[in-house]
């Protein structure tokens, strides 16, 4: 998925979204059943990770 973000390291507009799943998911401390995938916005040219975003933050309430 293309985005409209710009890489602060190299200035490229080639930023895509990847995801952490399974063991790469974010878990709430001491609550294994509360977890969510994490999306990573990264530069295709230099590999810089611009942001990490929890996909379903409401699971942690």
Burial class (CB in 10 A: 0-12, 13-18, 19+), 43: buried
% pLDDT > 70, the chain: 77
- Interval 39-55 mean pLDDT: 93
On average, the pLDDT of the chain sits at: 83
Q: What is the pLDDT of residue 19?
A: 87
Q: What is the value of pTM for the model shown? A: 0.74
30 is in which domain, residue-wise?
1-55
Number of domains forming the structure of the chain: 1
Strand partners, 53: 39
Q: Could you report the per-residue pLDDT of 17-43, keeping only the tens digit for each?
A: 988 776 766 666 666 667 788 899 999
- The two tokens of residue 31 are 């609550």
Domain assignment present for residue 26? The answer is: yes
Domain assignment present for residue 60? The answer is: no
Domain assignment present for residue 34? The answer is: yes
């Amino acid at each position: 998925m293309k985005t409209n973000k710009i890489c602060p390291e190299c200035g490229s507009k080639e930023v895509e979204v990847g995801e952490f799943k399974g063991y790469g998911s974010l878990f709430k401390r001491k609550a294994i059943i509360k977890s969510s995938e994490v999306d990573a916005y990264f530069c295709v040219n230099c590999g810089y990770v611009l942001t990490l975003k929890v996909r379903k933050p409401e699971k942690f309430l």
